[in-house]
Amino acid sequence: MTIHPSILAADFANLERELHRIAAADLVHVDVMDAHFVPNLTLGLPVVQRLAEVSPIPLDAHLMIEDPDRWAPDYAAAGASSVTFHVEAAKDPVATARAIRARGARAGLALKPGTPAEPWLERLDEFDLILVMTVEPGFGGQQFMPEVMPKLRQVADAAAAHGRDLRIQVDGGISTTTIGTAAAHGANTFVAGSSVFRSDDPARAIRALRKAAAHGH
Phi, psi of 195 (to 5 degrees): -70, -20
Please give the C-alpha separations between residue 103 and each of 40, 42, 74, 205, in angstroms, as whole numbers: 28, 24, 8, 33
Select from 26-34, 82-90, 102-110, 149-157 the region that touches Zn ion (CB under 5 A): 26-34
**Site residues (CB under 6 A) for ligand DX5, limited to 31-50:** 31
C-beta of 125: minimal distance to ligand DX5 in Å?
25
Taken in order 204, 63, 81, 51, is the CA torsion positive or negative?
negative
Q: Mask 47-76, x = binds ligand DX5 (CB under 6 A)?
A: ---------------x--------------
> Residues near 204 by Cβ (< 8 Å), separated by ≥ 6?
none
What's the half-sphere exposure (Cβ side, CA atoms, 13 Å) at 126? 14
Taking CB positions, which residue lies at the least distance from ligand DX5? 193
**Site residues (CB under 5 A) for Zn ion, limited to 134-193:** 171
**Site residues (CB under 6 A) for ligand DX5, limited to 144-183:** 171-174
Does residue number 142 form part of the binding site for ligand DX5 (CB under 6 A)?
yes
Among 55, 93, 58, 87, CA closest to 73: 93
N-terminal to C-terminal alpha carbon distance within the chain:
10
Closest to Zn ion by CB, 138 vs 161, is 138
Taking CB positions, which residue lies at the least distance from Zn ion? 62
Closest to ligand DX5 by CB, 38 vs 155, is 38
Catalytic one of 11, 26, 31, 201: 31
Whole-angstrom distance, CA of residue 116 vs CA of residue 176: 27
Q: What is the DSSP letter of 115?
A: S
**Site residues (CB under 6 A) for ligand DX5, limited to 177-196:** 191-195
Catalytic one of 34, 60, 128, 171: 171
Active site (annotated) includes residue 171: yes
Burial of 177 (0-12, 13-18, 19+ CB in 10 A): exposed
Residues making contact with Zn ion (CB under 5 A) = 31, 62, 171
Active site (catalytic) residues: 31, 171
Residues making contact with ligand DX5 (CB under 6 A) = 6, 8-9, 29, 31, 62, 135, 137-142, 171-174, 191-195
